[in-house]
Amino acid sequence: MDFTLSDVQELTRTMVREFAERELAPIAAEIDQNHRFPIETLPKLAENNLFGIPFPEEWGGAGLDYVSYAIAIEEISRVCATTSIIVETHTSLALEAIFNYGSDEQKRDYVADLASGRKLASFALTEPMAGTDAAMQESTAILKDGEYILNGSKVFITDGNYSDVFVVFAKTNPDPALGTRGISAFIVEAGLPGFTAGEGERKMGLRAANTSTLMFSDVRLPADALLGKEGEGFKIAMSVLDAGRVGIAAQAVGIAQGALDAAVKYAKERVQFGKPIGNLQAIQWMLADMSTDLEAARLLTYKAAHLQDLGKRFSVEAAHAKLFAGQMASRVAGMAIQIHGGNGFTESYPVERAYRDAKITEIYEGTNEVQRMVISRALLR
């Protein structure tokens, strides 16, 4: 792999960093403290073509590669992780599923609207009894008189109260002998009779992001709402989650970079024993370890994104990147608080938000334990 970024990739970083500093930085702490979904940011993300970065221009996307997309997620996360999960779930999970598995008609109906940011999309897999064990879906979509009747519920759905379009997984055939082949994927539009969303969760991190329960009660879906073939839902979910894991690794890298930048600034400014604390070797070594950890995670992330660009298999590399980057972000944000001393423990400095936001990158889109399962299975195969 060539470790030099292309001009376009460098330009993406510059442009997204400027956007994040201008539009996201001024509100990031406020939306977090008030648990307020940043609805005003959505048109700005759309204007800057940030909702469909790795999708072709003719489909409304920015026509960039997945490495550029990872860089963009990193730069948004460096300033506001809440905003990055809005972009990430929409792009890496929902849009990726529709773009890769949609019929020509479905792509025509949805991709341009989603990639251009005119509409927002969610990915609804998790259920009360189907978390890590995603195959334990209890939602059903039973074909009757040419329509699928969807019943069940989903939990923890990012943007559940705000999305226009949902990729929803449900059992089309409850025969236990079929296992995961009984699960199918559907494109479900908000506002259909019988489809409701509960209130957003109050969370320790990503506090401004919307995470809600979805309820389906006899929701009637046209037969052409089926995404891919009947029985392909689990395969679609797993393949899309590979892409998602690269996005979450990039999010972790960005959160950690924000924490490191804040720690360096503080180390130069804070004076103890008559000198900036950055003069102390204890602080210097922490900064050096943070930077090394961060750079390793960044390279794993770009490697997985690069394989994605080449159209090669990248499941294991995505798991490496997400496992390492998630844990790294928690470590680096913790050290950034240590460098800030008591100030780091207050809401007056951005590192306590980074510390709270980092934790989720070890949990969603496959916990650390799931990533270890993916990696070890490949080793022992």
Ligand X SMILES: Cc1cc2nc3c(=O)[nH]c(=O)nc-3n(C[C@H](O)[C@H](O)[C@H](O)COP(=O)(O)OP(=O)(O)OC[C@H]3O[C@@H](n4cnc5c(N)ncnc54)[C@H](O)[C@@H]3O)c2cc1C
- For binding to ligand X (CB under 6 A), which residues are involved? 89, 122-126, 131-132, 156-158, 203, 206, 211, 360, 363-365, 367, 369
**Catalytic residue set:** 365
Tell me whether residue 124 or residue 321 sits nearer to ligand X (CB atom). Answer: 124
Tell me whether residue 226 or residue 360 sits nearer to ligand X (CB atom). Answer: 360
> CA quadruple 53, 91, 249, 42: dihedral positive or negative?
positive
Least CB distance to ligand X at residue 128 (A): 8
Query: Which residues sit opposite 318 in a β-bridge?
Result: none
Tell me whether residue 35 or residue 270 sits nearer to ligand X (CB atom). Answer: 35
Q: Which amino acid is at 250?
A: A
d(CA 158, CA 81): 13
Give the orientation angle of helix 81-88 with respect to helix 66-79, to 10 degrees.
150
Tell me whether residue 338 or residue 368 sits nearer to ligand X (CB atom). Answer: 368
Least CB distance to ligand X at residue 366 (A): 6
Tell me whether residue 131 or residue 276 sits nearer to ligand X (CB atom). Answer: 131
From 190, 140, 183, select the one nearest 162 (Cα to Cα).
Answer: 190
Asked whether 319 and 80 are in contact (CB, 8 A), the reply is no
Residue closest to ligand X when measured from CB atoms = 131
Least CB distance to ligand X at residue 12 (A): 25
Asked whether 151 and 220 are in contact (CB, 8 A), the reply is no
Provide the 8-state DSSP code for 227: E
Least CB distance to ligand X at residue 285 (A): 31
Least CB distance to ligand X at residue 110 (A): 17
Reported in sequence order, the residue ranges of the chain that DSSP labels E, i.e. its strands, are: 121-124, 140-144, 147-158, 165-171, 183-189, 195-197, 211-222, 226-227, 271-272, 275-276
Asked whether 75 and 20 are in contact (CB, 8 A), the reply is yes
